[in-house]
């Protein structure tokens, strides 16, 4: 297998997306994750752009080992000096320099002659070469640059010591066959091309960044520039997780491999999403919420018989929690029976038919039937309470000043005992969660909250998904309600019930009650 080196520019090009700015501390945390993920090169920022960016690049250069650190610069001496200083403590480093090459950029942005642009490229590469051996040069907007001038610029910088030639599709204009053919022509026609490495940098304006990057790899490129979640200018860059898994899944056909460790993909994706406050689209390949979830009855039936019928990757190998079956109006009896069976409940034919009928009525009114709702329906069919705890009611006092105060009534279904708990917090969700936690016989850390509007207008329902951690394990719960705060509280309660079932708290509580114990001790 030929090795393809992954160059991650999440912290530089990715951060240039409007609203995606990161603090130096956030950059360092993400850089550590990228190193664990197995990227070969990290471009941590644009050192000349701000003192914070300079400090982040410098700290990452000092701390992150076994990964090449790249300093980004325009073809300007001050930029190069800043990049050299910021990366001087790196174990391995390169300088990445860019200069416009297309007519539209040269005529309207640089406003210089072609001869002047070539002279600048030569001078700045030669200047940077005094300090760093590995020099990457990018003719910006290369895919809208004529071949003759592109060859001339690349030849010039190779002569001055550039070691890596990056040919970027800066505005996402190229088609895959065009982009791959461009690399082939450059490699065949540029003198000295056999002495340098080639890199691809693709934007996603037409949705072809991954396809173009694969075309470049097939043309012989050995470095590909990517970002986590595909973040970046305008429609973003080539997505790291999509490219890495395309190569991993089809490596026998492509004949290449990377050093990416798939088991770290999901957590890295989530970390970048949270740090940038950029939600991930539900249908985003690899890391999107729906990427490994199925609602259609035919698909669910096939998956339950053999996962590979409708999945070409194993999400658990990517660090993605397994939630293969999503129950909705398209789900069939087989999927419902399977999900109920996962809760340890066996239904007879009459109970299953009653459940199926009530399930379909609920599914027609809303998009997804959540586990908490399913268990309520199971309880109606079996005449027993399925959930360990029930959030009976909530009340909230809120305002523009001071702490929010909440009270909630929680029922322990094993004993039938109901109690009212109060909590305070700077926000209403924090106050309600503080109250609910007091009802639990275990410590639950509130790890993550996702909120979505399911429709428009003032009467829109809100969907909340909460992730908690209990003894190192993660559990998720979801709920829908017109009041988004109540939805978040119900989702938290659902996650806690998942934890109680998984950790055996419910069974131990019931046994303690059967034994007549007054105090219940949970280790």
User: DSSP string spanning 356-367?
Assistant: HHHHHHHHHHSS
Q: Indicate if 327 and 408 belong to the same structural domain.
A: no
Q: Distance between CA atoms of 49 and 79, rounded to whole angstroms?
A: 9
CATH of the domain at 474: 3.30.160.270
Same domain, 65 and 139: yes
Residues 95 and 202 in one domain: yes
Q: Write down which residue in 382, 406, 423 finishes a domain.
A: 382
Domain holding 394, by residue range, is 389-514
Residue 248 domain flag = yes
Q: Which residues, 6 or more positions from 154, have their beta carbon under 8 angstroms from its beta carbon?
A: 137, 139, 165, 186, 190, 193
- Tell whether 291 is covered by a domain: no
Same domain, 169 and 196: yes
* Residues 355 and 459 sit within 8 Å (Cβ to Cβ): no
- Asked if the structure places residue 287 within a domain, the reply is no
Q: What is the pTM of this model?
A: 0.82
Residues 6+ apart with CB under 8 A from 4: 217, 221, 222, 223, 224, 247, 256, 257, 258
Beta carbons of 154 and 191 less than 8 angstroms apart = no
Closest CA relative to residue 394, chosen from 319, 487, 461: 487
Structure tokens at 138: 């990018």
| Longest pairwise C-alpha distance within the chain | 92
Q: Which residues have CB under 8 Å from 278's CB, separation 6+?
A: 17, 19, 20, 229, 231, 272
Query: What strands lie across the sheet with 404-412, from one edge to the other?
Result: 389-397, 404-412, 417-425
Structural domain contains residue 231: yes
3 state DSSP class of 350: helix
Residue 520 lies in a domain: no
Per-residue pLDDT of the chain (523 residues; tens, 9 = 90+): 899 999 999 999 999 999 999 999 999 999 999 999 999 999 999 999 999 999 999 999 999 999 999 999 999 999 999 999 999 999 999 999 999 999 999 999 889 999 999 999 999 999 999 999 999 999 999 999 999 999 999 999 999 999 999 999 999 999 999 999 999 999 999 999 999 999 999 999 999 999 999 999 999 999 999 999 999 999 999 999 999 999 999 999 999 999 999 999 999 999 999 999 998 998 999 998 778 766 566 666 676 677 777 778 888 888 876 665 577 777 778 778 877 777 777 888 888 888 888 888 878 877 777 777 787 788 788 777 778 899 999 999 988 877 899 999 999 988 889 999 999 999 999 999 999 999 999 999 999 898 888 777 777 888 898 999 999 888 888 888 889 999 999 999 999 998 988 877 654 444 444 444 333 333 2
Residues 418, 411 contacting (CB under 8 angstroms): yes
What would the two tokens of residue 456 be? 């428009």
Give the end of a domain, one of 382, 416, 441: 382
User: CA 181 to CA 243: how far, in whole Å?
Assistant: 19
Note the residue count of the chain: 523
Are 256 and 217 spatial neighbours (Cβ–Cβ below 8 Å)?
Answer: yes
Same domain, 421 and 317: no
Q: Are residues 163 and 254 in the same domain?
A: yes
Q: Are 215 and 334 within one domain?
A: no
Q: What's the structural domain count of the chain? A: 3
Cβ(139)–Cβ(145) under 8 Å?
Answer: yes
Residues pairing with 196 in the sheet: none
DSSP-H helix ranges across 15-146: 24-37, 51-63, 77-86, 103-105, 114-129
Q: Which residues pair with 7 in a beta bridge?
A: 41, 225
521 in a domain, yes or no?
no
Shared domain check, 304 and 271: no
Pairwise CA distance, residues 282 & 390, whole Å: 29
Rg (CA), the chain: 28
Residue 497's closest CA among 466, 518, 519, 457? 466
Give the neighbor-by-neighbor strand order of the sheet with 445-453: 445-453, 462-470, 473-481
User: Is residue 348 domain-shared with residue 477, that is, in the same domain?
Assistant: no
> How far apart (Å, rounded) are the C-alpha atoms in residues 291 and 265?
14
Considering the domain architecture, whether residues 378 and 394 belong to the same structural domain is answered as: no
Strands (E), 311-386: none
Dihedral, CA of residue 209, residue 213, residue 219 and residue 222, to nearest 10: 150
Is the four-CA dihedral 375, 380, 386, 389 of positive or negative sign? positive
Residue with tokens 């004993």: 415
Buried b (16+ CB within 10 A) or exposed e, 259-275: ebebebbbbbbbbbbeb
CA–CA dist 284, 320 (Å, integer):
14
The residue from 356, 382, 408 where one domain ends is 382
Strands 473-481 and 462-470 come out as antiparallel
Q: What CATH number corresponds to the domain at position 62?
A: 3.20.20.70
Residues 166 and 270 in one domain: yes
- H-run or E-run covering 405: strand 404-412
| 238 lies in the same domain as 120 | yes
């Amino acid at each position: 297998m030929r090795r393809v080196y992954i160059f991650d520019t999440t912290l530089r090009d990715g951060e240039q997306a409007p609203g995606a700015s990161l603090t130096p501390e956030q950059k360092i945390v993400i850089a550590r994750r990228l190193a664990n993920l197995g990227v070969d090169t990290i471009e941590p920022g644009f050192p000349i752009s701000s003192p914070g960016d300079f400090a982040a690049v410098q700290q990452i250069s000092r701390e992150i080992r076994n990964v090449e650190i790249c300093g980004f610069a325009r073809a300007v001496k001050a930029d190069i000096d800043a990049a050299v200083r910021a990366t001087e403590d790196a174990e391995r480093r390169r300088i990445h320099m860019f200069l416009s090459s297309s007519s539209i950029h040269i005529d309207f942005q640089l406003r210089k002659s072609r001869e002047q642009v070539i002279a600048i490229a030569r001078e700045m590469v030669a200047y940077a070469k005094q300090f760093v051996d590995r020099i990457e040069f990018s003719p910006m907007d290369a895919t809208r640059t004529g071949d003759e001038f592109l060859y001339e610029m690349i030849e010039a910088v190779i002569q001055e010591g550039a070691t890596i030639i990056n040919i970027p599709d800066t505005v996402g204009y190229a088609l895959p066959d065009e982009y791959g053919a461009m690399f082939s022509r450059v490699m065949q026609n540029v003198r000295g091309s056999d002495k340098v490495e080639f890199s691809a940098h693709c934007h996603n304006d037409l949705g072809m960044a991954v396809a173009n990057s694969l075309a470049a790899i097939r043309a012989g490129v050995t470095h590909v520039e990517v970002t986590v979640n595909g973040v970046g200018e305008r429609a973003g860059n080539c997505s790291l997780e999509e490219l890495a898994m395309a190569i991993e899944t089809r490596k026998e056909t492509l004949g290449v491999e990377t050093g990416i460790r798939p088991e770290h993909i999901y957590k890295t994706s989530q970390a970048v999403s949270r740090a940038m406050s950029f939600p991930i689209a539900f249908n985003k390949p690899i890391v999107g919420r729906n990427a490994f979830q199925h609602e259609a009855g035919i698909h669910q039936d096939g998956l339950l018989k053999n996962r590979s019928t409708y999945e070409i990757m194993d999400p658990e190998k990517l660090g993605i929690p397994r939630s293969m079956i999503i129950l909705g109006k398209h789900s069939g009896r087989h999927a419902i029976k399977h999900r109920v069976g996962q809760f340890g409940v066996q239904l007879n034919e009459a109970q299953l038919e009653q459940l199926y009928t009530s399930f379909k009525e609920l599914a027609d009114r809303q998009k997804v039937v959540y586990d908490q709702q399913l268990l309520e329906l199971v309880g109606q069919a079996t005449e027993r309470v399925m959930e360990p705890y029930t959030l009976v009611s909530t009340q909230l006092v809120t305002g523009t000043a001071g702490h929010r105060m909440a009270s909630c009534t929680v029922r322990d279904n094993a004993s039938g005992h109901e109690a009212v708990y109060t909590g305070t917090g700077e926000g209403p969700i924090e106050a309600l969660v503080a109250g609910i936690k007091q009802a639990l016989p275990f410590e639950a850390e509130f790890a993550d909250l996702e909120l979505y509007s399911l429709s428009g207008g003032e009467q829109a329902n809100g969907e909340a998904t909460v992730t908690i951690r209990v003894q190192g394990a993660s559990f998720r719960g979801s709920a829908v309600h017109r009041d988004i705060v109540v939805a978040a509280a119900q989702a938290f309660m659902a996650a806690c019930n998942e934890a109680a079932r998984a950790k055996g708290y419910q069974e131990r509580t019931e046994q303690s009650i059967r034994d007549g114990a007054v105090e219940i001790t949970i280790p």
